[in-house]
Structure 1
Amino acid sequence: MSTSSLHTVLVGRQGIHELVGGIAGGLVGYELLFRQLPIESLQDEQDHEAATAQVLSAVFGDFGVDDISGRLPLYVNAPRGYVVGDVPLPDVPDRVVVEVLEHVGVDAEVLEGVERLRAQGYRVAIDDWDGDARREPLLRVADVVKIDLSRLGQAALHQVVEQARAVAPHAQVLVERVETELDLELAAAAGADLVQGFFLDRPRTVATSTLTPSEVACVRLLAALAAEAEASEVEALVSSDPGLALRVLRTASSPAGVGRPVRSVLQAVVLLGPRILSAWVVLMVLGGSRKVPREHVVTMLARAGACGRLEPEHRDVAYTAGLLSAVSEVLGSDPAETLRSSGVDEAVQAAVLHGEGPVGSALRAVVGHERGAPAVVMSNGYTPFEVSMAYLAALREAARTASAVDG
């Protein structure tokens, strides 16, 4: 059990191209790749589920899905839990292709899960099909059949593609591991619809520093959501953990949420609603975390709380502005980039970056107090005494919250 964690998130992607007249054409999607550890280190189903959770949380909560995909669909590796519905997927079926991994056994529950996913609007790809008749029932309900060229010879590739056409004539055939011009010619000759591999597009890894939520905060939030707690109670739980608050803001503004800027954590909570919020918290828990020093958490919460106390008429917005300002400092990131990726609206960004409006004045006064600059406090319309009292009260509350979240 720990507080928010501070670490670098790595996500890879590789382009998928259409094949027209034997020539590789434009991009039609990307496969998301797990990059935190070597894929060979994933030993069991739980490891694979955690890896997928980390990728999904990072893409939708850290980077921003449009920054990764450019609005193209993303192929996401799906262990059994995601296929049968034990673990949630992002509620954006037009942006996600569910790729059923090779090791997922074919049984009634898996087949029902695939049918349910397709009924919800997701496209489904079957990974690494090599002609195994035991997996043919999956092909019949799939939209894409992926075939690994590196595992097959030229004759075998033709045979496996023909089998795929016979079993699933409605499905597209994607040949992956296209490493050379000859491989591309082989895929075209075999009649592939889509191709993927180093010859066309080498995987690109992107990285960012982020705060991931604590397990304790996530579990408490899930319990509150299950008990149908009021939005104000849910907002308080989210705001108690900086990593959780940042993820919720980013998720709310992403296509997986409402797809537009938000002004505060409370607004994000209300707009997401309990169902979508619960699904994302589950992914956050599965993704895991590492501990960040408690004093960093206290500092972030104290700044946010002080801003909210100084500007009670806009408490939610002021708290959010203070929190994002502090998060940017802890991450060592460009404040403008942190604000952009968080999905908050232009008014909040202007308050943090330029001190505009009453929220901006409150934030600048609090930061001035933290840095021992009374002139800055007074130039923003406050007395050092009132800011000091607000900060001390917020600091006490932040210390209590950090202790509680520490578990």
Structure 2
Amino acid sequence: MDKNQPLLARQPIFNANMEVYAYELLCRDSHENRANVIDGDQASSQVLLRTFTDLSIGEVVGEHKAFINFTRNLLLTSPPFSRTQLVIEVLEDQLVDNKMLAALGQLRAQGYTIALDDFTLNSCSFKMLEYADIIKLDVLALSNQELENHVNRLKPLGVKLLAEKIETYDMLERCKAMGFELFQGYFLSRPQIMLGAKYAESRQTIIQLLAQLNDPRSEIDQIEQIISQDPVLSYKLLKLINSAAFHFVCSIESLRQAITLLGLIQVRSWITLLSMASIDGKPRELSVTTMVRARFCQTLGEAVSGVRRGDTYFTVGLLSTIDAFMDEPLDILLSKISISDVLSNALLHHQGLEGKVLKVVKQYEKADWDNIDWDMLEARGVEESALSHFYTESLVWVTGALETLVF
């Protein structure tokens, strides 16, 4: 996989001492350092997902804040990302109505910082002022008199004023004198493209998940089953829960635990973002092979351990091929998510009962009969004929699970 693909660009925002205060994150899909946005929902969703799941917020902005453009549709979907670092930048051309204002109020109450982009004072934009923490004024779009009028009207409200599109030293000094606190523009720094690998999920899985999550009768078991059909999606879920937005001290041992900790509302928000983004996938055969292995690990794990639900064993099987999906070493991928030492050691070293089960399953797949630990299986009450039964059952289970998806 090409790890030098443009994922996004970042442009620093400075304070009056010319120290970096934050970065604005911008959509970039080519090495040309300019935006080519046709669909605002798609562009903003891609920036959010690439920041928090393809990369990580720490890789992109360090400990600084991240300004990301939000369309009206995104504002109506509470983002499952860090309240401390994400600045929701409301685009200037969005329809302002009671529904949108209520969403802004809710986001502000949740602790998000709200910025108003390319702000000009009028009867519609005036309604958003009570929710704003930062107001961005385009110094090229406003005359000096208009700029001063806006500063005089807005400064008493206690908001931070950000001067954007500063292209000369004189403009920078003039904005400082007017009372601006934050500054952004080509004179200070041009956007820097950030490179990486683009990991793809199955669009069919996303669509099915979205429908299921919007069904009030949905249960975690149903959501878990659908997510488990896509290993990349499963990995990203685990990476999402490891982001700065969530401060869980426990390590994760299964998909079910991750979904439970996040809650269906947060999962729905994440899947909604994915549905707005551009998605494609790896070959179907790799997904099928992975799901068969995960189910095989689950059924064998339940047999050797005596547990009723083999969630941990299923997750080990599911993650065991994630390096093939994401074209990156398994140890590096696992270091980016908060899975338990039990899972990590099982995947990397075949340690513990989960690791022994995974090793048996992988040997069975290769017909490496001589090296299967038959003594361990026999000691735990699993006969040789049971492996064939578990494998066949796994094939039937996967076939049934995939019949609901259109490939």
TM-score (norm 1): 0.83
Quick one: distance in 1 between partners of 2:10 and 2:78?
Answer: 21
Residue 262 of structure 1: SS of its match in structure 2? coil
What is the Cα deviation at residue 216 of structure 1?
4.2
Shift of 1:131: 5.9
CA gap 1:377/1:161 in 2 versus in 1, 3 angstroms: farther
- Alignment-derived partner of residue 18 in structure 2: 24
Report if the CA contact (8 A) 2:53-2:240 is conserved. Answer: yes
Query: Corresponding residue for 2:380?
Result: none
Which residue number corresponds to residue 361 of structure 1? 356
Local SS of the residue matching 2:94:
coil
Confirm or deny: 8 A CA contact 1:178 1:200 kept in the other structure.
Answer: no
| 2:135 corresponds to 1:138 | no
Aligned partner of 2:296 in structure 1 is: 306
Which residue of 2 is the match for residue 242 of structure 1?
Answer: 231
Structure 1 unaligned regions, length at least 5: 1-6
Please give the alpha-carbon distance, in whole angstroms, between the structure 2 residues aligned to 1:143 and 1:75: 12
Q: In the alignment, is residue 70 of structure 1 matched against residue 62 of structure 2?
A: yes
Query: Contact between 1:72 and 1:95, CA under 8 Å: does it hold in 2?
Result: yes
| Counterpart amino acid of residue 192 in structure 1 | F
Q: Is the 8 A contact 2:9 2:28 kept in 1?
A: yes
Q: 1:290 maps to what in 2?
A: 280
**Is 1:330 the counterpart of 2:325 in the alignment?**
yes
- The offset of 1:133, in angstroms, is 7.0
Q: Displacement, 1:92? A: 3.9
Q: Say if 1:378 and 1:384, in contact at 8 Å, map to a contact too.
A: no
| Aligned counterpart, 2:196 | 207
> 2:176 — aligned with what?
188
**In structure 2, distance between residues paired with 1:215 and 1:40:** 28
Q: Is the counterpart of residue 48 in structure 1 residue 40 in structure 2? A: yes
What amino acid does structure 2 have at the position aligned with 1:10?
A: L
1:316 and 2:311 are equivalent in the alignment? yes
Q: Distance in 2 between matches of 1:385 and 1:332?
A: 35
Q: Distance in 1 between matches of 2:206 and 2:94?
A: 32
Over the matched positions of the two proteins, sequence identity in percent amounts to: 26
For the residues of structure 2 that align with 1:272 and 1:173, how far apart are their CA atoms? Answer: 35
In the TM superposition, residue 176 of structure 1 has moved relative to its aligned partner by 2.4
C-alpha separation between the residues in 1 aligned to 2:83 and 2:135? 18
Shift of 1:376: 4.4
When residues 245 and 142 of structure 1 are mapped into structure 2, their CA distance, relative to the original with a 3 A threshold, is same
Residue 177 of structure 1 deviates from its aligned partner by: 3.0
Q: Counterpart in 1 of 2:165?
A: 177
Distance 1:149 1:379 in 2: 74
Q: Which residue in the other structure is 2:108 paired with?
A: 118
Q: Contact (CA 8 Å) 2:209, 2:223: kept in 1 or not?
A: no
Shift, 1:368, TM fit? 3.0
The alignment status of 1:270 with 2:270, answered yes or no, reads no
Computed over aligned residues only, the root mean square deviation of the Cα atoms, in angstroms, reads 3.2
Any gaps of 5 or more consecutive residues in structure 2? 378-382
Q: Deviations over 1:248-268 (max 9, x none)?
A: 222233233454431110111
Is the 1:252–1:262 Cα contact (8 Å) retained in structure 2?
Answer: no
Match of 1:344 in 2: 339
**CA offset digits 1:333-389 (Å, max 9, x no partner):** 111222123432232122111222111122223233334544543399459865555
Describe the SS at the equivalent of 2:282.
Answer: coil
Equivalent AA in structure 1 for residue 399 of structure 2: A
How far apart, CA to CA, are the structure 2 residues paired with 1:9 and 1:356? 38
Give runs of ≥4 in structure 1 deviating > 6 Å. none
1:12 counterpart (9, 12, 17)? 9
User: Does the CA-based 8 Å contact 2:295-2:317 persist in structure 1?
Assistant: yes
Distance 1:336 1:178, change over 3 A: farther
* Structure 1 counterpart of 2:119, from 104, 129, 147: 129
Counterpart pick for 1:57 among 49, 59, 73: 49
Cα separation, partners in 2 of 1:157 and 1:396, compared to 1, 3 Å: farther
Q: Which structure has more helix as a fraction of its residues?
A: 1
The answer to whether residue 395 in structure 2 is matched with residue 395 in structure 1 is: yes
The question of 1:197 aligning with 2:185 is answered yes
Q: Secondary structure at the match of 1:36?
A: coil
Partners in 1 of 2:99 and 2:80 — Cα distance? 21
Take 2:11 and 2:374, find their aligned partners in 1: how far apart are those partners? Answer: 51
Aligned to 1:405, the other structure's residue is in SS state: coil
Deviation at 1:125, TM superposition (A): 0.8
* Structure 1 pair 133–139 and aligned structure 2 pair: CA distance change class (3 A): same
Tell me the alpha carbon deviations over residues 35-58 of structure 1, each in whole angstroms, 9 at most, x when there is no partner.
Answer: 237876434xxx211222222233
Give yes or no for contact 1:321–1:363 (8 Å, CA) kept in 2. Answer: yes
Distance 1:355 1:132 in 2: 64
Task: Work out the CA distance in 1 between the residues paired with 2:145 and 2:374.
Answer: 75
Distance 1:109 1:276, change over 3 A: closer
What letter corresponds to residue 356 of structure 1 in structure 2?
Q
Say which of 272, 276, 279 aligns to 2:269. Answer: 279
Take 1:63 and 1:217, find their aligned partners in 2: how far apart are those partners? 20
**TM-score after normalising by structure 2:** 0.83
2:201–2:281: 8 Å Cα contact kept in structure 1?
A: no
What SS does the corresponding residue of 1:404 show, helix, strand or coil? Answer: coil
| Partner of residue 4, structure 1 | none
Q: Are the structure 2 counterparts of residues 24 and 133 from structure 1 closer, same or farther at C-alpha, using a change threshold of 3 Å?
A: farther
Specify whether residues 402 and 235 from structure 1 end up closer, same or farther in structure 2 by C-alpha distance, changes over 3 A only: same
Asked if 1:167 corresponds to 2:154, the answer is yes
Q: Structure 1 residue 99: deviation in Å? A: 0.7
Conserved in 2, the CA contact under 8 Å of 1:97 and 1:124?
Answer: yes
